[in-house]
Amino acid sequence: MTTPVILVSAGRQNNYTPRREVQTITAGCDIDYLAAVQRSGSVPLMLPFLASSEGIAAALSVADGLLLSGGGDILSLTYGEEPHVTSKLQDPTRDAMELEATRLALEMGMPVLGICRGLQLLNVACKGTLIQDIPTQVPGAVKHYADGLDVVLLHTMDIESDSLLAKVMETTTMAVNSWHHQAVKAVGNGLRISARARDGVVEAIEAADGRPLLAVQCHPEECAATYPQFQRVFDWLATEARSYQSRKRR
């Protein structure tokens, strides 16, 4: 068995450049994702924005798992809603790429881990919808967007005892960090809610039928070095990637 390869979706950022200089746009993801994947014993391979279905399929063909990383808001028209006034940082090209990558990964039976935007993307890919702004659309919501300079475990997440997430994290209650203003509204086809915040906001989803799909609204990649229990979701992905790799070879 060779070292599993994890495809990590990457976003785009418009970097600041001085006047009269060529504007620079970069593609990438936070290095914490790559570090967490490497700690799990896997090799991260970044998937930059691609408009080609053939290119996405080619990238998936050499991978053993898919990690949908965090980023800006998914274009609300994708799930049939007009944009809330607070919506921001949309990238329809990235949306299309990740939706196609997710569709193909699900068809292939490839394990998928979604983080923050990645959870929302997985839900939309399965025909679910999103709360577009928690502070204005969820009465009595707790704070879901931290302002701390260091890693802050901001609020509590309660995990369903019979869920995959409870098995992975080995607990049913834990404090998590938080960097989001959107969340799951209608749950996508074939998915189940596996954790909520104390205000009812969905904090994790997974496959209802036991397929290797797991998504969390917190950012475990940011926490894993300081709070090792958050590394467990990446270790889970690595384990499932090895199983997928074995199935591919049969």
Q: Is 104 left (phi over 0), alpha (psi -120 to 50) or beta?
A: alpha
Read off the CATH number of the domain in which 114 is found. Answer: 3.40.50.880
Expressed as residue numbers, the domain containing 74 is 5-248
Type and span of the H or E element at 14: strand 11-14
pLDDT at 52: 86
**Tokens read off for 99:** 């939706």
- State how far the Cα of 86 lies from the Cα of 88, in Å rounded to an integer: 6
User: CA-CA distances (angstroms) from residue 107 to 8, 57, 60, 189?
Assistant: 18, 11, 11, 14
User: Shortest CA distance to 180 belongs to which of 150, 137, 244, 214?
Assistant: 137
Residue pair 40/2 in contact by the 8 Å Cβ criterion: no
CA dihedral for 136, 137, 141, 146, sign (positive or negative)? negative
| Cβ neighbours, 10 Å, residue 56 | 23
- State how far the Cα of 23 lies from the Cα of 11, in Å rounded to an integer: 17
pLDDT at 22: 64
Q: Mean pLDDT in each 10-residue stretch from start to end of the chain (250 residues)?
A: 92 69 75 96 91 91 97 96 94 95 97 98 98 96 86 95 98 96 98 98 98 98 94 98 88
- Number of domains, the chain: 1
Residues 6+ apart with CB under 8 A from 135: 141, 144, 181
Give the active site residues: 116, 219, 221
